């Protein structure tokens, strides 16, 4: 069955079959013309197929025709097999295997990154290039879960004339922070653009101490802030200036809202907006402008553009990391606007006003999406690359065999102490898995922006 699924991925690299697309509200009169630009019916099953701007040869199209016919017949004749696969994806043992591979490989990579520090005084650029590749070994495993395990797709709505620049230039990315897996969708797009290992982010300082991800970010020169402006004014600027001579193209992500959207935080944020005489936002928090202004000031000249990204999910889907882990497929849509750096004011006050206006526009785009089911511009689906899957298979083949041999030896020993130790380790691993999932849950998110932190909410 795994071979069958891999064959499916290979044959549909240029043409993506989405059975749910035919049932979605975006196929109403308001969106038919937009969708028609990039879709055509499958020759056998009449399911809309997205072209991805790729040329499909007659021979490949014939293979696709045969594949679609056989896939359709297989799913009709063997629905129980598909149900079995869905059941297996939801099993905790599968989740435990994923987390074991992720944690074990992540710690190995962190140790290698530690040794690469010796290169910093000798050849800083070589240190950076090596750590970009090491970072990819970790972050691509989460992308693999999203793309290959759950099958989640992210469609970009953007100007087709600027689309070829994506992944070929440095950029500051402004992304709304409302969903539990918005960071994964950003990573997925970065992976498909070929710059996942080089991705940067402005993150809270506490994350630097989190094993694996936080340590990986430290070695790849992520920017950490305390959310206290007097402390961040110098430290953030100094860290940003270090990126001016970075040897590879990167995307620098910044969540200008400062924290993930919740109804409670939104209510408080709009009270602040009213007090400042700013228009209310329906789908976003009031942006914090100082971090953005200092980012633009420090990176101007080496970053040619800002990418304004507005993310949402079709059919009011409420995506969660646990859902991804259970193999649930989500359908993300992301509206991307490329804004030249020359269009952003140099003055801090004018830059602040510009950002507030940008978020008012983002709010209007979200409102239109909820009404019509589509964003403006042309939809495109960047082709999925195999490297995230191959990276995970490499680490799994390297780590799982000795792990299972160890488990077999423990169980076969018959020692009560050994079995008790195994049960304790299993329970600890279970708690660790649940804790890591809980970190991403909205209702367990940061208290930053809540009522007890209202006095901190300022530009």
353 CB-near residues (< 8 Å, 6+ apart): 345
Residue 45: the pLDDT is 40
Quote the pTM value.
0.79
Measured CA to CA, the distance from residue 73 to residue 422 in angstroms comes to 45
Residue 186: the pLDDT is 92
Burial class of 29 by CB neighbour count within 10 A (0 to 12, 13 to 18, 19+): exposed
Q: Residue 363 is encoded by which pair of tokens? A: 């709010």
Cα atoms found within 13 Å of the Cα of residue 227, Cβ hemisphere only: 20
Paired strand residues for 50 = 16, 39
CB of 442 closer than 8 Å to CB of 318: no
344 CB-near residues (< 8 Å, 6+ apart): 296, 306, 351, 354
Residue 363: the pLDDT is 95
Please choose, from the candidates 386, 379, 293, 375, the residue with its C-alpha nearest in 3D space to the C-alpha of residue 341: 293
- Give the relative orientation of helices 387-413 and 416-439 as an angle to the nearest 10 degrees: 150
The rounded average pLDDT for each run of 10 residues, N- to C-terminus, in the chain (459 residues) is: 47 44 45 46 43 43 51 58 76 85 94 97 96 96 94 92 94 93 92 92 87 92 86 88 94 90 91 92 93 94 96 92 91 96 94 96 95 91 92 95 82 73 72 62 53 50
Domain boundary assignment for the chain:
2-89, 98-380
204 CB-near residues (< 8 Å, 6+ apart): 224, 225, 226, 227, 446, 448
**Distance set, CA 282 to CA 279, 311, 350, 362 (Å):** 10, 15, 23, 10
| Strands 305-313 vs 331-340: parallel, antiparallel or unpaired | antiparallel
Tell me the backbone φ, ψ of residue 132, rounded to 5 degrees.
-60, -45
- Looking at domain 98-380, its CATH architecture is 3-Layer(aba) Sandwich (3.40)
Measured CA to CA, the distance from residue 61 to residue 446 in angstroms comes to 49
């Amino acid at each position: 069955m795994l071979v069958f699924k891999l064959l499916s991925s290979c044959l549909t690299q240029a043409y993506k079959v989405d059975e749910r697309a035919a049932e979605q509200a975006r196929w109403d009169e308001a969106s038919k013309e937009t969708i028609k630009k990039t879709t055509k019916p499958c020759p056998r099953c009449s399911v809309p197929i997205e072209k991805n701007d790729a040329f499909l040869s007659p021979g490949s199209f014939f293979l696709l025709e045969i594949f679609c016919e056989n896939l359709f017949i297989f799913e009709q004749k063997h629905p129980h097999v598909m149900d079995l696969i869905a059941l297996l994806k939801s099993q905790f043992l599968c989740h435990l295997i994923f987390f074991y591979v992720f944690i074990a490989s992540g710690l190995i990579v962190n140790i290698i990154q530690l040794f690469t520090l010796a290169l910093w005084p000798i050849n800083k650029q070589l240190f950076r290039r090596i750590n970009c590749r090491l970072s990819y070994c970790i972050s691509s495993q989460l992308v693999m879960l999203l793309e290959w395990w759950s099958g989640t797709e992210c469609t970009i709505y953007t100007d087709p004339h600027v689309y070829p620049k994506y992944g070929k230039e440095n950029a500051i990315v402004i992304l709304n922070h409302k969903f539990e897996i918005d960071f994964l969708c950003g990573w997925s797009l970065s992976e498909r653009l070929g710059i996942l290992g080089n991705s940067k982010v402005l993150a809270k300082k506490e994350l630097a101490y989190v094993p694996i991800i936080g340590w990986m970010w430290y070695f790849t020169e992520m920017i950490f802030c305390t959310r206290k402006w007097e402390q961040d004014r110098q430290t953030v600027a100094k860290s940003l200036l270090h990126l001016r001579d970075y040897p590879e193209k990167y995307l620098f992500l910044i969540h200008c809202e400062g924290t993930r959207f919740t109804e409670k935080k939104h209510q408080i944020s709009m009270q602040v907006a009213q007090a400042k005489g700013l228009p209310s936002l329906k789908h976003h928090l009031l942006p914090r402008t100082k971090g953005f202004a200092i980012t633009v000031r420090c990176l101007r000249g080496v970053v040619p553009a800002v990418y304004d990204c507005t993310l949402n999910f079709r059919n009011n889907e409420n995506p969660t990391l646990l859902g991804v882990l259970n193999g649930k497929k989500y359908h993300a849509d992301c509206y991307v606007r490329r804004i030249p750096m020359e269009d952003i004011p140099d003055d801090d006050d004018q830059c602040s006003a510009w950002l507030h206006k940008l978020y008012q526009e983002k709010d209007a785009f979200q409102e239109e999406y909820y009404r019509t089911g589509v964003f403006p511009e042309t939809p495109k689906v960047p082709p999925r690359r195999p490297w995230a899957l191959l990276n995970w298979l490499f680490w799994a083949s390297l780590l799982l065999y000795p792990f299972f041999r160890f488990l077999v030896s423990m169980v076969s020993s018959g020692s009560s102490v050994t079995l008790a130790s195994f049960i304790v380790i299993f329970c600890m691993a279970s708690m660790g898995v649940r804790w890591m999932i809980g970190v991403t849950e909205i209702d367990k998110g940061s208290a930053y922006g809540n009522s007890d932190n209202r006095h901190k909410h300022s530009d």
